[in-house]
Chain A
Amino acid sequence: MWDFIWNDFLVTGEPIIYGAMASIVLATVGIVFVLTYFKLWKWLWDEYLTTVDHKKIGIMYIIAALAMLFRGGVDALMMRTQLALPNMNFLNSVHYNEIFTTHGTVMILFMAMPFIIGLMNVAVPLQIGARDVAFPFLNAFSFWTFFFGAMLFNISFVIGGSPSAGWTSYVPMAGPELSPEINQNYYLLALQLSGIGTLATGINFLVTILRMRAPGMTLMKMPIFTWSALITSIIIIFAFPILTIALALMTLDRIFGTHFFTLAGEGMPMMWANLFWLWGHPEVYIVILPAFGVFSEVISTFARKQLFGYKAMVYAMCVIAGLSFVVWVHHFFTMGAGAGVNSLFSITTMLIAVPTGIKIFNWLGTMYKGRIRFNVPMLWALAFIPNFTIGGVTGVMLGMASADYQYHNTYFLIAHFHYVLIAGTLFGMFAGLTYWYPKMFGHKMNEKIGKISFWFTVIGFNITFLPQFFLGLMGMPRRTYTIEPEWMPLNLLSTAGAFILATGFVIFTFNIYYSARYEPREKTGDAWDGRSLEWATTTPVPHYNFATIPYVNSHEAYWDMKETGATTYDESKLEPIHMPSYKGLPIIMSAIMFMASFGLVWHWFWLAIPGLLGVIICMVIRSFDFDEGYHVPIDEIKRTEEQARGRKE
């Protein structure tokens, strides 16, 4: 028993691991202590753990995403340290491999995804004048499955060993024959668990956006961020089932001995690559389109102009979404599919540059004849344009299959996708967070600290990733844990850049703490002179969002309201508002799923089977739950609104 725990269950023998264990234990003890000491358990349970309020769920998503940004960021710094000089002994090969695998997976699935879903939760219902999402219970459930999926993935580091086959987890290497350890199971089950939540979110937002818009808001009068959320939801609904199935098949291979992707027994290893990227490429657009939505909102707000070419922006996003499903082969041009197939996929890939170009020029057009303010959200949006352009043109270069034979799996690729993911997704999320921050927390983030963090990040980012284009052309492959002497100077530069970049992130997070303490409270609700409906609510936003829902005439509903002096509070039209009740079931059910998945990882059917039964029991309980929620009485609405609007204390 002890033997098993010490030799297989816990990961031992590495100082970094002991450090991680110690810090996990310390952090847990610390959190438990603080919650107990300040008697916060009940508050936490009542206000957050059981919440079905989209605004709070959004905040929880974003907090989790920032935590994961740090997990992935520390991984990145460790990798960059190992790669700074030839013959570094900071990480050995096994360790390095685990770290780049967890870095990639955490960043894409547990940082970028929850960040965008968090912002969607915060902004979309408000933008369309809705009181919540269509399925609030499901929304809470989505969050908790993501959360427990992320936890499952993260504990692999100290319990049983991290997956090490790359975030793409290609078979045969990731299959049962070449990776017999349990670590790969963590990848499969953690992604599966959080993937369920993501699919549910996609459905939830599709229905919310299609069914719950304010009167008058036709599709072509939706704010552009909501458009991006709608298209993202549609991509999720088409793409995530592919991942679910691929993961399930590989789980069967690894845990139950089937032969879908194995080397022996007529398995088809290449089918994995196809399925993975058939989901994986659309996934890239799932994390970039909402960022495009944020940039459109931010640029038009801070240039104080309508979005240039609103319709073209919408159509461009639709075309990108469609094309995203027909380019997946560009991830393995070198698989020997032949000139015909590669030509086809080269052309579809390069075609994505057309709608993307339209968007870039429309953003520039939005600034033309504008009056640009350089607040922090706008700085992130502005930095996006030139940096993303570099990511975009190198993407076109990668799309030229015959040239890609030289770039594939090299640092050229690493540089390209970080230019897209960091300058696109991450800057977008930072822009969105600082932009909606006053709406979420009732105060802005400090501008000065925000600017410092911005410059560190943008400069550090370029110093980190620009040299990598050249490293790729010099023959440096990705996923190598040690470098050749001739690649040293540029790697050293890149590592230095990574530390500057990391400093930027730290300052960004410090700003959250600083602003919470010292920034003046925001009363008006319209912190940036905004244009769409979310700015029409008071701050803090009442839990029912809108006392009365306005009629919408254009995609800049609040701008129109400001011109006519209207508000979302019309005392004569008040009615009791129906709201859903808070529920403990989503977190409980997800926790049980976590246990079941953990059991499966270890082939412990005594845990997995009761866990699965537990999930079914939860579903049954839920289906007999006839709680219809409650109504907010008119008096209470009046009191809340008048207090918030400063008419009566």
Chain B
Amino acid sequence: MKNLVSWFKRLFMVPGLFALLLVASGCSGITVLDPKGPVARTQQELIIFSITLMSVIVIVVFVLFFYMIIRFRERPNWTDKDYDPHQHGNTTLEIIWTVIPFIIVAALSVPTVTSLYALESPPEETNDQEPLVIHADTSNWKWYFSYPEQDIETVNYLHIPENRPIEFKLASADSMTALWIPALGGQKYNMAGMQNTLYLQADEEGEFAGRNANYNGSGFAEHTFTVTSESEEEFNQWVSDVQNNAPEMTKDRFDQYLEPGLAQEAEYSSTHLEYVDFGMNSGRSYITDLYGGNLGEQLHLEGGEGGPWEEE
């Protein structure tokens, strides 16, 4: 039995060491715990708060658990001094361990609910600014970012100004997808025929990884984009570059994009919102009308080496 107990101890050191290692290495490698904007920060604070509280519970359970199995294990010199087979419960104790979890749930509910409401609108700290509106639409397995005010559109990449809230308008032409930029904040679904709003904001310049987080078939792993956060001036410079130098997003070109497949980054000096808005019920069957039953194409991508779908 001694052997067994020490096995148990060794076993549970594995996760413990692991956790320590990760904490020691700092959270810098862990995107979600290293927020680059107010939305991600709200969520990170909530996560840290819940981890702390949950650790207390885990520790209590682990300590009691090891106490029980070590103290009350059957061993060679066992006497039934404190063996009590007829004990059938203890109401006081049971009430205690009902009430305490209730309190913990309440403690977690309050910040959850307040942050839920807070995330419905642009971040507090920049509420003096108008959010920049970007429509983020998807079709198998591409992102189209339309900037209606600027009248430009990008494919598979995003430029945003720092310190200004971004109001994403999310929709999808076909499968359900989700816009997720972990460094800036949590995800929300893009769906066909309806529009979701997601507020995100970057506090600093830099490049962040963004992706579709909701599985949508063979090109899912490749359904990613990069976000470049830059100063107001640089952003405006970029916008006028695109406005002046990029081709227009014609209906033909856009219809071609809607065909299943991957695409390279690209930019256009007009948006597809002029002919179709997937966030409206009217835009819902646009793609099926266009391609009918041919939308299930299976791309046999291999290990991240998918041949990018080229535009003619």
Contacts and interface: CB of A to CB of B under 8 A. Distances in A.
Nearest to A164: B217
Interface string A370-405: 111110000000100110011001101100111111
A365 B112 contact: no
Given A346-B109, A475-B31, A263 B287 contact: yes
B128 interface: no
A602 B94 CA distance: 56
Given A176-B293, A342-B116, A474-B30, A374 B73 contact: yes
A369 B82 contact: yes
A367 interface: yes
Contacts of A350: 105, 108-109
22 contacts: A87-B305, A92-B303, A93-B218, A97-B218, A172-B192, A178-B175, A263-B284, A304-B83, A309-B89, A334-B189, A335-B188, A335-B196, A343-B116, A354-B101, A367-B68, A400-B112, A402-B186, A405-B188, A406-B185, A410-B213, A481-B303, A484-B209
B305 to A, nearest CB: 7
A252 interface: no
Given A93-B219, A304-B83, A343-B112, 5 more contacts: A263-B284, A305-B85, A347-B113, A350-B105, A369-B87
Nearest to B195: A336
Nearest to B113: A343
B105 A353 contact: yes
Interface of A: 86-89, 92-94, 97, 164-166, 170, 172-173, 176-181, 263-265, 269-270, 303-312, 332, 334-336, 338-339, 342-343, 346-347, 350-351, 353-354, 357-358, 360-362, 364-365, 367-374, 382, 385-386, 389-390, 393-394, 396-397, 400-406, 408-410, 455, 458-459, 462-463, 466-467, 470, 472-475, 477-482, 484, 486
B166 interface: no
Interface string B166-205: 0000100011101010100111110111101100000000
Contacts of A332: 189
A397 B54 contact: yes
A336 B188 contact: yes
B15 interface: yes
B72 interface: yes
Contacts of A373: 74
B228 interface: no
A164 B299 CA distance: 13
Interface string B44-68: 0011001100100110011011001
Contacts of A462: 11, 14-15
Contact of B61 (A86, A97, A334, A386): A386
Contacts of A303: 72
A409 B214 contact: yes
B266 interface: no
Interface in B11-41: 11-12, 14-15, 18, 22, 29-33, 40
Contact of A402 (B32, B87, B115): B115
Interface string B213-237: 1111111110000000000000000
B221 A459 contact: no
A92 B293 contact: no
B295 interface: yes
A474 B192 contact: no
Contacts of A397: 47, 50-51, 54
Interface string B273-312: 0000000000011011100111110111111111000000
A424 to B, nearest CB: 15
A466 B72 contact: no
A390 B30 CA distance: 20
A649 B97 CA distance: 55
A409 B213 contact: yes
Interface residues of B, number: 110
Interface string B114-129: 0111011000000000
B162 to A, nearest CB: 20
Given A172-B176, A409-B178, A264 B289 contact: yes
Of B4, B101, B120, B140, most buried by chain A (CB within 10 Å of CB) is B101
Contacts of B12: 386
A408 B97 contact: no
A351 B105 CA distance: 7
A371 B303 contact: no
B244 interface: no
A527 B47 CA distance: 47
Interface of B: 1, 4, 7, 11-12, 14-15, 18, 22, 29-33, 40, 42-43, 46-47, 50-51, 54, 57-58, 61-62, 64-65, 68-69, 72-74, 78, 80, 82-90, 93-94, 97-98, 101-102, 104-105, 108-109, 112-113, 115-117, 119-120, 140, 170, 174-176, 178, 180, 182, 185-189, 191-194, 196-197, 209, 211, 213-221, 284-285, 287-289, 292-296, 298-306
A172 B182 contact: no
Given A401-B112, A406-B43, A365 B187 contact: no
Given A374-B4, A409-B187, A369 B43 contact: no
| 8 A-B pairs with the lowest CB-CB distances in the bound complex, closest first | A405-B186, A264-B285, A336-B196, A393-B54, A367-B68, A309-B89, A479-B215, A369-B84
Given A263-B287, A367-B69, A405-B186, A93 B302 contact: yes
A305 B84 contact: yes
Nearest to A466: B15
Contacts of A179: 296
A402 B174 CA distance: 26
Contact of A312 (B11, B58, B94, B108): B94
Given A181-B296, A306-B88, A354-B101, A364 B221 contact: no
Nearest to A408: B187
A89 B304 CA distance: 9
Contacts of B85: 304-306, 370
Contact of B220 (A470, A473, A479): A479
A372 B69 contact: yes
A403 B43 contact: yes
A482 B304 contact: yes
A64 B176 CA distance: 35
Given A170-B176, A389-B58, A482 B113 contact: no
A367 B84 CA distance: 10
Contacts of A354: 98, 101-102, 105
Of A172, A305, A409, most buried by chain B (CB within 10 Å of CB) is A172
Contacts of A466: 14-15, 18
B95 to A, nearest CB: 10
A371 B78 contact: yes
Contact of A371 (B80, B87, B104, B289): B80
Nearest to A306: B88
A12 to B, nearest CB: 14
Contacts of B30: 470, 473-474
Contacts of B22: 470
Contacts of A336: 170, 188-189, 194, 196-197
Nearest to A312: B94
Contacts of B7: 455
Given A172-B176, A173-B176, A479-B215, A474 B288 contact: no
B116 A339 contact: yes
Contact of A400 (B50, B62, B140, B189): B50
A330 B294 CA distance: 33
A87 B78 CA distance: 58
B166 to A, nearest CB: 15
Contacts of A408: 178, 186-187, 213
Nearest to A302: B74
Nearest to B97: A361
A405 B185 contact: yes
Nearest to B99: A354
A308 B299 contact: no
Given A180-B296, A369-B72, A385-B65, A406 B182 contact: yes
B174 to A, nearest CB: 6
B125 to A, nearest CB: 17
